[in-house]
Amino acid sequence: MSKQPIHAIRKKKGLTLDAAAQLFEVDRTTIIRWEKGEPLIPLKRLEDAAKIYGVPKKKIRPDIYETA
């Protein structure tokens, strides 16, 4: 599976995997899995992600905001 938008967002913010893991209080492998979309970042962490990365929630999980 290809990397999700959060990979590019994290890199643009200048965060390493380890720094992002610390901010989310998770293991770095969790960040890697989220970036691969395996699984997508959970909805319960979406608000945290928006604050940490400084972007709107729909940039992190565009799948939620897409219309058919």
Give me the DSSP letters along 4-48.
Answer: PHHHHHHHHHT--HHHHHHHHTS-HHHHHHHHHTTTPPPGGGHHH
- Tally of residues, the chain: 68
Number of domains in the chain: 1
Q: What is the pTM of this model?
A: 0.83
Tokens of 61: 């999980």
Per-residue model confidence as pLDDT tens digits over 25-64: 999 999 999 999 999 899 999 999 999 999 999 999 888 8
pLDDT of residue 64: 87
Confidence of residue 13 (pLDDT cuts 50, 70, 90): very high
CA distance 26 to 58: 22
* Host domain of residue 58: 5-65
Tokens of 14: 């200048």
**CATH, residue 46:** 1.10.260.40
